[in-house]
Chain A
């Protein structure tokens, strides 16, 4: 369904799958954790497994 020539655009704008640091920068917030860890890893640690899984599944779909 998704054409490969759009991947660059998607990678640039799709931040939830990136690091905590990228997320903090995007929203201007400070999560007070290691900014290098994956954002979905952080969500899982915070008990938001379902949100992390949704982000992961959508990320795979967008970049497949």
Chain B
């Protein structure tokens, strides 16, 4: 049985292979800028998924494979409206406030929360955190739901910036 963490790292390795084959195709002579942007969009989104997986792995490694609380948010449950005849026409609701913890392995654990957790616990520097935030924003922009502006103009420079995050994360695992 291969531990989950190893499987994830193995998948990261496979994705780096996939990125490589696309990067190699980018060297094709006579490739138009539109085609280059299309290839870069693909490698950038793949690289973003690698960064997210590595952030997860860094947290796992720094917590001896445990499942730490990544963030804690207040939720309001059992909401009950109070009759307007009692409140004098004012709309009032009573509810039970409850602190809800999000664990690393929860499906609700977000990339943004993991990045902040890394920063707050000193796993990454402020500068590295900014880079992780750049990666997250880039990933969100490429998502179809996030496309609001012209979806082109992806470049090698953006690709390199995302890879810098990969390069500083790997040694932290």
Chain A residues near B38 (CB-CB < 8 A) = none
Name the A residues within 8 Å of B27 (CB-CB): 46
A39 touches B170 (CB 8 A): no
Q: Is A1 a contact partner of B21 (Cβ separation < 8 A)?
A: no
Interface residue? B86 (CB, 8 A): no
How many chain B residues sit at the interface, stated as a range, is 20 to 34
Say whether A26 faces chain B, with CB atoms less than 8 Å apart. yes
- How many interface residues does A have (CB within 8 Å)? 29
The answer to whether A10 and B6 have CB atoms under 8 Å apart is yes
Taking beta carbons and an 8 Å cutoff, which residues of A are in contact with B? 1-3, 6, 9-10, 13-16, 23, 26-27, 29, 31, 39, 43, 46, 48, 50-51, 53-55, 57-59, 61-62
Q: Which 10 residue pairs are nearest across A and B when measured between Cβ atoms?
A: A57-B170, A50-B163, A16-B17, A14-B13, A27-B21, A54-B166, A6-B6, A2-B6, A6-B2, A1-B61
